[in-house]
Amino acid sequence: MSTMSCLLCGVGGQGTVLASRLIAQTAMRLGYFARTAETIGMAQRGGSVVSHVRWSRGEVHSPLIPPGEADVLIGFEPGEAVRCIDYLKPNGFAVVGGSPIPSVLAALSGESYEAEPFLAYIRGRVDRLIIIDGARVAEASGSAKSLNIALIGAACGALKFNADDIIVTLKERMTGNILDMNRRAFEIGASAAARGYGYKEG
Amino acid sequence: MEARTMKSRTMKSLLWMGNEAIAHGALHAGITLASGYPGTPSTEALETIARLKPEGVHVEWSVNEKVALEVAAGACYAGARALVTMKQVGLNVASDPLMSLNYIGVKGGMVILAADDPGPISSQTEQDTRRFAQFARLPVLDPSNPEEAYAMTRAAFDISEELRVPVIIRPTTRVCHACACVAPFEPLPPKPPEGFRKGREWVIFPRLSYESKKRIVAREQALSDALARFNIIEEPPEPTDCGIACGGISYAYVKEALERTGLQCRVLKVGAPNPFPNEIAERFLDGLSRVIVAEELDPVIEDALRPLCAARRIPLRGKADASLPSAGEYSVAALADALRLFVGGVKLESPGARSEAPPNPPARPPVLCAGCPHRASFYAVKRAVGARRAIYCGDIGCYTLGNAPPLDMVDTCLCMGAGITIAQGLRRTERDTPIFAFIGDSTFFHTGMPGVLNAVYNNSDIIICVLDNRTTGMTGQQPHPGIGKTATGEPAPAADIGNILNALGVDSVRRVNAFDLDQAERAVSGAMDESGVRAILFEGPCIAVAARVKPQARNADPLRSGAEPPPYMTVRESECVGCKICVRKLGCPAMSIIRDKRIAAIDPALCTGCGLCAKVCPVNCIVHSTNGGEAATR
């Protein structure tokens, strides 16, 4: 295997940084060399955020994924997934959170921001696609904050990890109710992936 | 010197962010003290040490970077090793002690982390700390990844001690905020300081500085020798007459760009750009007929290579001839394109147009959080001023985001502490316009206080609005002198900003709850009716801290524990008239308009229940969720 690259994108506060660390930590435990690059700072205040994760048995030079080279795109919401879709390889895998996060600027200018045109565009470009319903994840896991783990659950196979590999990493980082909640979220994502591409959970 | 740091036995590899790697590098080099002021992208270095609370190490958030450097200098005078952390503009604040400290020198090793921010992503400037190091005649190390950041930090302490010189380590955002697998060396225990030995060498005088200057110039060769191992020439598999010089993160991009394109280039990696490694550069140039330089920020390597290339009549490409951009971040793709053109003479093909243009995602600039007390404070001032002309001088912090619509409450912003002082200059030209200066609590302590004293002393006429959210917000909620606890959470005396304002000579100080809109508005009106230097202290906790500490008692009574407030606000759909005033006046990220229903909606996951929207709703249809509100629907 050469370098694996996973791009995560969303809105500040959605948990992209934790998600990228979980992936990197899992890769590292499996004996890969891993790099990440994360958006930390000003843009975290509700702005667009992107995390890059790359791992390999050999050397990884750049922490940033060049456009067109991501094996996996994890989009935490539809508009941000479209913003970063050019990072995805031809025939790459994408998992996208289907619930849009309203934008203050859009709300102010009276523009509408609905998920569907963005999801339709992604469907048109990506064959290996899973869309996860954020509301369903929140309901089933008990928290909207666990969307990140549900998305990783759906991407797990495409990341070439076993489910257990991720679960072990979760256990390294959390305990108790938080762990249980995230395990439920992981299962929702994993079962959506098991049902096949294009399946919309909920 | 090697024996002290670079023990060959390495420990288990760990996933560290560049800033964590620097923190561990300093700890493993046996520091006794770490000081700094928060600033993106440097903050996590000191945070890591504060979190670990290593025995025998004093770690502090100092009130500003100048203070941090001076505190560290004191420890180093006594032979202790110390790390000082800041962002690049923080080094401007610390430049006074830094310039002089080079003339005095250090006994214990001192390493200064000054993090640069190409882009810039979270900074006022795109300044280059390598240039600063040239100006200050100090060694500077430029790591290209977290692994190197760790190793360089450790080595920097040895170099600092051996040559009695502060050493700067200058990572950039993509090193600071990148994680990698780092294999640390065996840590050293904190180096026991010898103690301060009195002597004339610690007192800076012109005569001493004259002698020091000669020593500083004479030491260049010793520095070059000590730093030589960080400057590396890499030969390609096949012979070539093309060379690329680079440093920092650009080295990582160059390596990957060469792999992708399969192009052959000799690479000069400049990990220690000051003093510039001329001898190594001459060896790099031997046999080359073309050279390009890839470096973000300033053309430091390029400028140093120019005379060497000119003497050999080798054409030099880089920023000066616009082969590469002079501003912003570089990337693998941009360098691959530049290399194809440079080595192969291949013009880029413009990428083919996509069959279907994507829909435009909504713009997402950073915004004040839902429940942020600054929104309420800005809105209170805005309402009190009404249609009158007023000027709003801003400062550095989360509240700079108050410049965005719909608040539009930041007319100027320059650097830390400059709101209060710029207001004083504007006052002399705008005699009839009320002038407000907004400043956060941490910035007030950092460099705000001298400006207040200046205003009082010089009979100015401004309204100072201190937005006291009880933390250093933008950088991720670090404590400061007003909190009552230190970097490691130990109790400390809490400085009272109101009392400080009084002591500085501001007699008119009003203290308001930021979320009590009527009270706050009355305070602003009252202050506007007065003259001279007046201050309003808007108190309300940072929602990021409050949400972490006490989810149920966030906004009841700011800064004090109080009644249990409802968790979120909701819109009585049947009563909402769709006027959109709540959305358009406040710009709260939790609020939106449901298009088909033409009514306001509040996202319960984001709303913190601060209730500001209920106070601006003209038909009183926004209520606390526990108070008869219908379930929020979207």
DSSP B174-217: HHHTEEEEE-PBPPPPPPPP------GGGS--HHHHHHHHHHHH
A199 located within any domain = no
- Asked if A43 and B398 come within 8 Å (Cβ–Cβ), the reply is no
Expressed as residue numbers, the domain containing A186 is 4-194
Q: How far is CA B294 from the centre of its chain?
A: 24
Q: Which residue of B has its CA nearest to A85?
A: B358
Residue A9 C-alpha, separation from nearest chain B C-alpha, in angstroms: 13
- Residues of chain A contacting residue B398, judged by C-beta atoms under 8 Å apart: 45
Task: Take residue B600 and report the two structure tokens written for it.
Answer: 């306001």
Long-range contacts made by residues B562-566, C-beta under 8 angstroms, separation at least 24?
B565/B609, B565/B611, B565/B624, B566/B609, B566/B624, B566/B625, B566/B626, B566/B627
Residue A191 C-alpha, separation from nearest chain B C-alpha, in angstroms: 25
Using DSSP, state whether B50 is helix, strand or coil: helix
Residue B102 C-alpha, separation from nearest chain A C-alpha, in angstroms: 32
- Residues of chain B contacting residue A64, judged by C-beta atoms under 8 Å apart: 174, 253, 331-332
Surface-to-core class of residue A31, CB atoms within 10 Å of its CB (0-12 exposed, 13-18 middle, 19+ buried): exposed
Q: Which residues pair with A96 in a beta bridge?
A: A75, A131
- Asked if B122 and A41 come within 8 Å (Cβ–Cβ), the reply is yes
Q: Which of B13, B361, B588 is opposite residue A80, by nearest beta carbon?
A: B361
- Residues of chain A contacting residue B591, judged by C-beta atoms under 8 Å apart: 107
- Give the count of alpha carbons within 13 A of B560, CB side only: 5
Residue B279 C-alpha, separation from nearest chain A C-alpha, in angstroms: 27
Task: Take residue B77 and report the two structure tokens written for it.
Answer: 């005078």
- Residues of chain A contacting residue B252, judged by C-beta atoms under 8 Å apart: 61-63
- Residues of chain B contacting residue A12, judged by C-beta atoms under 8 Å apart: 366
- Asked if A45 and B401 come within 8 Å (Cβ–Cβ), the reply is yes
- Asked if B398 and A45 come within 8 Å (Cβ–Cβ), the reply is yes
A188 located within any domain = yes
Tens digits of per-residue pLDDT, A66-91? 999 999 999 999 999 999 999 999 99
**How many domains is chain A built from?**
1
Which of B408, B592, B599 to mutate to test binding with chain A, by most A CBs within 10 Å of its CB?
B592
- Asked if B332 and A66 come within 8 Å (Cβ–Cβ), the reply is yes
Count Cβ–Cβ pairs < 8 Å, chain A vs chain B.
Answer: 148
- Asked if B178 and A36 come within 8 Å (Cβ–Cβ), the reply is yes
- Residues of chain A contacting residue B475, judged by C-beta atoms under 8 Å apart: 41
Query: Strand B534-539 to strand B463-468: parallel, antiparallel, or no bridges (unpaired)?
Result: parallel
What pLDDT, on the 0 to 100 scale, is given for residue A106?
Answer: 81
Helix intervals (H) in B497-540: 497-503, 517-529
What pLDDT, on the 0 to 100 scale, is given for residue B422?
Answer: 98
A100 located within any domain = yes
A85 located within any domain = yes
A202 located within any domain = no
Task: Take residue B231 and report the two structure tokens written for it.
Answer: 């400057």
- Asked if A45 and B603 come within 8 Å (Cβ–Cβ), the reply is no
- Asked if A47 and B181 come within 8 Å (Cβ–Cβ), the reply is no
Q: Which of B400, B229, B483 is nearest to B392 (CA)?
A: B400
- Asked if A79 and B362 come within 8 Å (Cβ–Cβ), the reply is yes
Taking chain B (634 residues) in runs of 10, the rounded mean pLDDT of each run is 44 92 97 97 98 96 98 98 98 98 97 97 95 98 98 98 98 97 91 92 95 95 97 96 98 96 96 98 98 98 98 97 96 95 78 72 90 97 97 96 94 98 97 96 98 98 97 94 96 98 98 97 98 98 76 40 62 93 92 84 88 96 74 40
Rounded (10°) CA dihedral A15, A21, A22, A27: 150
A201 located within any domain = no
Q: What is the rounded distance in angstroms from the CA atom of residue A162 to the CA atom of residue A148?
A: 17
Residue B592 C-alpha, separation from nearest chain A C-alpha, in angstroms: 6
Would you give the DSSP letter of residue B51?
Answer: H
What pLDDT, on the 0 to 100 scale, is given for residue B2?
Answer: 38
Q: What is the rounded distance in angstroms from the CA atom of residue B110 to the CA atom of residue B106?
A: 7
Place of tokens 């360098």: B335
What pLDDT, on the 0 to 100 scale, is given for residue B350?
Answer: 56
> Which domains, and CATH codes, for chain B?
2-218 (3.40.50.970), 229-344 (3.40.50.920), 373-549 (3.40.50.970), 569-624 (3.30.70.20)
- Asked if B474 and A42 come within 8 Å (Cβ–Cβ), the reply is yes
- Asked if A121 and B359 come within 8 Å (Cβ–Cβ), the reply is yes
Q: What is the rounded distance in angstroms from the CA atom of residue B433 to the CA atom of residue B383?
A: 16
Tens digits of per-residue pLDDT, A17-37? 999 999 999 999 999 999 999
Q: What is the rounded distance in angstroms from the CA atom of residue A192 to the CA atom of residue B415?
A: 50
Q: What is the rounded distance in angstroms from the CA atom of residue A70 to the CA atom of residue A52?
A: 9
Its ipTM equals 0.94
Which stretch of A140-144, A181-185, B25-29, B625-629 has the lowest confidence by average pLDDT?
A: B625-629
- Residues of chain B contacting residue A48, judged by C-beta atoms under 8 Å apart: 364
Task: Take residue B377 and report the two structure tokens written for it.
Answer: 């404070």
Q: Taking the CA atoms of B179, B185, B190 and B193 in sequence, report the sign of the dihedral they define.
A: negative
In this structure, are residues A157 and A25 in contact, taking their beta carbons and an 8 Å threshold?
Answer: no
A93 located within any domain = yes
SS (H, E, C) B130-159: HHHHHHHCCCEECCCCHHHHHHHHHHHHHH
Q: Which residue of A has its CA nearest to B179?
A: A36
Residue B515 C-alpha, separation from nearest chain A C-alpha, in angstroms: 20
- Residues of chain A contacting residue B583, judged by C-beta atoms under 8 Å apart: 107-108
**Single-letter code of the amino acid located at B410:** V
Which CATH number covers residue A148? 3.40.920.10
A192 Cβ contact partners less than 8 Å away, ≥ 6 residues apart: A130, A132, A150, A153, A154, A199, A201
